[in-house]
Amino acid sequence: MKTVKDINFNNKKVLVRVDFNVPLNDDLEVTDTTRIEAAKPTIHNILEDEGSCILLSHLGRPKNREDKFSLRHIVNTATEILGVQVKFVEDCIGPAAQEAVDNLNPGEILLLENVRYYPEETQGDRGFAEKLASLGDYYVNDAFGTAHREHASTAVIADFFPNDKCFGLLLASEIENVKKVLSDGKSPVTAIIGGAKVSSKITVIENILDTIDHLIIGGGMAFTFIKAMGGNIGGSLVEEDKQDTAMEIMRKAKEKSVQVHLPVDVVAGDSFSEYANTTNEPADNIPEGWLGLDSGPRSNEQFAEIIAKSNTILWNGPVGVFEMEQFAEGTKKLGDAIANATKNGAFSLVGGGDSVAAVKQFGLTHKVSYVSTGGGAMLEMLEGKTLPGIKAILE
Domain boundary among 148, 171, 194: 171
Domain span at 149: 4-171
| Residue 62 pLDDT > 70 | yes
Distance CA 177, CA 179 (A): 5
In a domain, 388, yes or no: no
Region of 198 (left: φ > 0; alpha: ψ -120 to 50; beta: rest) is alpha
Q: State residue 75's pLDDT score.
A: 97
**Structural domain contains residue 395:** no
Mean pLDDT calculated for residue range 48-77: 96
Mean of all residue pLDDT scores within the chain: 94
State the alpha helices, DSSP H only, in the chain.
Answer: 34-48, 75-82, 94-102, 119-122, 126-133, 169-182, 202-208, 222-228, 243-255, 297-308, 329-343, 353-361, 375-382, 388-394
Say yes or no: 192 and 166 in one domain.
no
Same-domain check for residues 58 and 116? yes
The one catalytic residue in 17, 35, 87, 242 is: 35
- pLDDT for position 322: 94
Evaluate if residue 384 carries a pLDDT over 90. no
194 labeled part of a ligand binding site: no
Q: How far is CA 301 from CA 213, 297, 307, in A?
A: 19, 6, 10
Catalytic residue among 353, 360, 363, 384: 353
Q: How confident is the model at residue 118 (pLDDT cuts 50, 70, 90)?
A: very high
Would you call 123 helix, strand, or coil by DSSP?
Answer: coil
Give pLDDT, residue 380.
86
Give the number of domains in the chain.
Answer: 2
Residues 81 and 225 in one domain: no
Name the percent of the chain lying above pLDDT 70: 100
Active site residue 197: yes
Q: Say whether 35 is catalytic.
A: yes
Residue 169 above 90 pLDDT?
yes
For residue 230, the model assigns a pLDDT of 96
> Would you state the pLDDT for residue 378?
84
| Whole-number percent of the chain with pLDDT over 90 | 87
At residue 376 the predicted structure's pLDDT band, cuts being 50, 70 and 90, is: confident
Q: Count the neighbouring beta carbons within 10 Å of the beta carbon of residue 163.
A: 5
Whether residue 201 is annotated as binding a ligand: the answer is yes
- Quick check: 194 pLDDT over 80? yes
Distance of CA 316 to the CA centre of its chain: 9
Same domain, 165 and 228: no
- Burial of 39 per CB tally in 10 Å (0-12, 13-18, 19+): buried
pLDDT reported for residue 201: 87
The reply, when asked if residue 20 is annotated as ligand binding, is: yes
DSSP string for residues in 128-156: HHHHHHTT-SEEEE--GGGTTS--TTTTG
Same domain, 349 and 266: yes
Q: Which of 171, 201, 217 corresponds to the end of one domain?
A: 171
Could you report the per-residue pLDDT of 244-303, keeping only the tens digit for each? 999 999 999 999 999 999 999 999 999 999 999 999 999 999 999 999 999 999 999 999
Task: Give 363's contacts (C-beta < 8 A, 6+ positions apart).
Answer: none
Amino acid identity of 25? N
Whether residue 104 sits in one domain with residue 39: yes
Q: Is 384 a catalytic residue?
A: no
State residue 353's pLDDT score. Answer: 64
Q: Does the residue 195 lie in any domain?
A: yes
Least confident of 44-53, 194-203, 206-215, 340-349: 194-203
Confidence class for position 143, pLDDT limits 50, 70, 90: very high
Based on the residue annotation, tell me whether 136 is a catalytic residue of this protein: no
51 is an annotated ligand-binding site residue: no
pLDDT recorded at residue 109: 98
Average pLDDT over residues 115-130: 97
Regarding predicted confidence, which is higher, 352 or 225?
A: 225
